[in-house]
Amino acid sequence: MDMQLYAIRRRNVSSGPNEMEQAGNRSSEVGEEMKDRIRWIRSYVVKEENGGLGTICIYQAADEEAIREHASRAAIPADEVNPVVDTLVMRDDPKPASEAAS
């Protein structure tokens, strides 16, 4: 099945790292159940204005409905779902500060 690349903005997924890990685990479990329709590529964890944590996620999916079903089943938001039309990579992603310090 052909899959489209999507960028998903998830606001206020968690208030801290433990909740973020739990959300990631749920997302992985549901993703395995839906592996013929959706595939998680990567996520960037971002600090929200209110101090909580959100994400910008990159997924491949059969369609937007698969993204929204996955979010619903994993109990995580999908505030914005946008098809990716192109990718510009100037440099590889840098290591997070937490990894660079070790």
CATH number where 27 lies: 3.30.70.3090
**What are the structure tokens assigned to 11, written together?**
């606001």
Distances from the Cα of 6 to the Cα of 2, 95, 99, angstroms:
13, 23, 27
Range(s) of the domain holding residue 59: 4-100
| Rounded-to-integer distance, Cα 74 and Cα 49, Å | 24
* pLDDT per residue rounded down to tens, the chain (102 residues): 789 999 999 999 888 888 889 999 999 999 999 999 999 999 999 999 998 899 999 999 999 999 999 999 999 999 999 999 999 999 988 887 777 665
Domains in the chain: how many in total?
1
Helix (H) or strand (E) holding 81: strand 80-83
pLDDT at 100: 63
